[in-house]
């Protein structure tokens, strides 16, 4: 089976490996190299690096608006196009090119969390379950019928990074199952998404990282987990800007203004919230590394301000 794979970040790499196991990946589409790091050097995407290691042709169009880009894809004569966190919208004229259309590996249980950041939004919302859907793509944003799906539990301590890695592996497994069926001559039956329960996972914005202590402590604790490792939550505590790597919500009445530092001990820095208390356990000062609250206090930080 001739496959064209389209993906960009780390999340898509396990799926690329799964696609290449027993199929002919004739080309990999990925976003153009972007400036990265302190030197702002042009850097290939993780999917491009994996494709080059495997000797697969890499194509990096800015978009699919031109006739030339569509002709180039058509010339590959793909049986199937697999799309995993590619980052470009595919018009209907592209979706129609492969014989079996385009499959998408999406990191949520659709129709919950359609859109760009399903992993982080699920944790931020306090969901206890997530999963992966293999979807037959159509023109709408993540609206296509689901071919296969698998769920998993979101642990109470799971961060965005940890859930990302588990879902990336699960996505590769679900994709492999779907490809196995197709090779056996069985097209997975499409299942229309329910019309109720639709939510959207909007793209993460660095500006969201600043914690607002007027919110309930549980909301902030979930946000801390969701935004680790990026964009990483931050807050002003006792006059200092801190990046918050780990925190927990305490169900405690306090009667103090939101943002007040109530206690500072080896267990953490306890900050008054609109409802309850946020215990900051792991933090990072500007220019420093992530440390526990105990190490932060041992460094002689003056919290009297």
Q: What would the two tokens of residue 246 be?
A: 């780990």
Determine whether the annotation assigns residue 109 to a binding site. Answer: yes
* DSSP count for the chain of H helices, then E strands: 8, 17
Query: CA 250 → CA 9, 122, 213, distances in Å?
Result: 36, 21, 13
Tokens at 230, concatenated: 């990026």
Q: Is 257 part of any known ligand binding site?
A: no
- Which residue in the block uniquely carries the two structure tokens 């799309």? 83
Instruction: Tell whether 108 is in a known binding site.
Output: yes
Alpha-carbon distances of 110 from 6, 125, 164, rounded to whole Å = 20, 15, 16
Backbone angles phi, psi at 286, to 5 degrees: -55, 125
| Rounded Cα gap, residues 130 and 215, in angstroms | 24
Tokens, residue 177: 């199952």
Spatial distance between the Cα atoms of 125 and 133, rounded to a whole number of angstroms: 19
Rg (CA), the chain: 22
Is residue 242 a known part of a binding site?
no
Binding residues: 108-111
Give the annotated binding-site residues for (6S)-5,6,7,8-tetrahydrofolate. 108-111
């Amino acid at each position: 089976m001739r496959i064209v794979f389209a993906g960009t970040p780390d999340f898509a790499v396990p799926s690329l490996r799964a696609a290449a196991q027993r199929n002919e990946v004739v080309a990999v589409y990925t976003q153009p190299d972007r400036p990265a790091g302190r030197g702002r050097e042009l850097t290939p995407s993780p999917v491009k690096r994996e494709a080059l290691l495997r000797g697969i042709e890499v194509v990096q169009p800015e978009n699919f608006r031109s006739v030339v880009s569509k002709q180039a894809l058509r010339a590959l004569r793909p049986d199937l196009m697999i799309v995993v966190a590619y980052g470009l919208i595919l018009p209907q004229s592209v979706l129609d090119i492969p014989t079996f259309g385009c499959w998408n590996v999406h990191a949520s249980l659709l129709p919950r969390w359609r859109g760009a950041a399903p992993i982080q939004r699920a944790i931020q919302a306090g969901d206890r379950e997530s999963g992966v859907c293999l979807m037959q793509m159509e023109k709408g944003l993540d609206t296509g019928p689901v071919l296969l799906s698998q769920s998993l539990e979101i642990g109470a301590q799971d961060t965005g990074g940890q859930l990302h890695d588990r879902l990336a592996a699960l996505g590769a497994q679900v994709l492999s199952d779907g490809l196995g069926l197709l090779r056996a001559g069985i097209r997975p039956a499409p299942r229309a998404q329910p019309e109720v329960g639709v939510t959207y996972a909007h793209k993460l914005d660095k500006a969201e990282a600043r914690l607002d202590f007027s919110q309930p402590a549980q909301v902030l604790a979930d946000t801390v987990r969701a935004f680790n490792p990026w964009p990483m939550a931050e807050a002003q505590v006792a006059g200092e800007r801190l990046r918050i790597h780990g925190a927990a919500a305490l169900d405690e009445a306090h009667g103090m203004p939101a943002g007040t530092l109530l206690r500072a001990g080896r267990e953490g820095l306890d900050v008054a919230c609109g409802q309850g208390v946020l215990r900051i356990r792991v933090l990072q000062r500007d220019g420093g590394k992530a440390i526990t609250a105990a190490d932060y206090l041992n460094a002689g930080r003056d919290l009297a301000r």
